[in-house]
Amino acid sequence: MPNRQLTDSSTRLRARLREETAAAILSAAERVIGEEGLQSARIELIAAYAGVSVGTIYNHFKDRTALVQALFDSRGFRMAEQFEVALAATAGAPAREQVRALFEAVVLHGRQHGLLFASLVRENHGPSRIRAPAISRTAFAMSAAALVSRAIATGEFREDPSHVFPEALVGLLRQALACAIEGRGTPAEIDSMTDLFIRGVAR
């Protein structure tokens, strides 16, 4: 009779190795797309950078489109996580600090993945069958809405009957991401965007 503990341990090890291999493939894909462009990113080159065979890539991803979509989704989830961390770290702080934390998070994300984003911007996000991750759009919208709602409740922001404050914040966050992709997003620029938003919504 097989040892249940050894079997469970072996299953967990295989799952972890599979996750690590998939992560390495996604990192390699990001590098290749950033350097070569989305349309020119060959599976063979991605496999070489990841240190795996082409067959291993297809064991993890159905085809090239699925690989690129997984990369988009992975980076979208990372953006959402960075927003969550930023808001958790500033919970209870003045609204201005919370807004600034979101700008810092998006600039950091833009710098970490700048080559990828720049390549996608140049190629207009590639084939239409590859979707921009919904999680990124949701993260921007939900984080902005939650922050604005709390600040209105505490009296730091004035009432927003037309619900335009979250959309305005999302617009500025997207601008901050664009700045980071261009190699900008200095502390002074982050302060300027933060002040611009706060002046427009504060009581």
Residue given tokens 């190629």 in the structure block = 123
Q: What is the pTM of this model?
A: 0.82
The single-letter code of the amino acid at 96 is R
Q: How far apart are CA 90 and CA 96, in angstroms?
A: 10
| Sequence-distant (≥ 6) Cβ neighbours of residue 143 within 8 angstroms | 83, 84, 87, 102
Instruction: Please give the pLDDT value at position 124.
Output: 60
Instruction: Please give the pLDDT value at position 166.
Output: 96
All residue ranges of the chain with pLDDT < 70 are 1-10, 123-133
Instruction: Please give the pLDDT value at position 3.
Output: 66
pLDDT per residue over 170-198, tens digit each? 999 989 988 998 889 999 999 999 999 99
Instruction: Please give the pLDDT value at position 125.
Output: 53
As a three-state string, the secondary structure of the chain is: CCCHHHHHHHHHHHHHHHHHHHHHHHHHHHHHHHHHCCCCCCHHHHHHHHCCCHHHHHHHCCCHHHHHHHHHHHHHHHHHHHHHHHHHHCCCCCHHHHHHHHHHHHHHHHHHCHHHHHHHHHCCCCCCCCCCCHHHHHHHHHHHHHHHHHHHHCCCECCCCCCCHHHHHHHHHHHHHHHHHCCCCCHHHHHHHHHHHHHHHEC
Of 123, 19, 122, 120, nearest in space to 76 by CA: 120
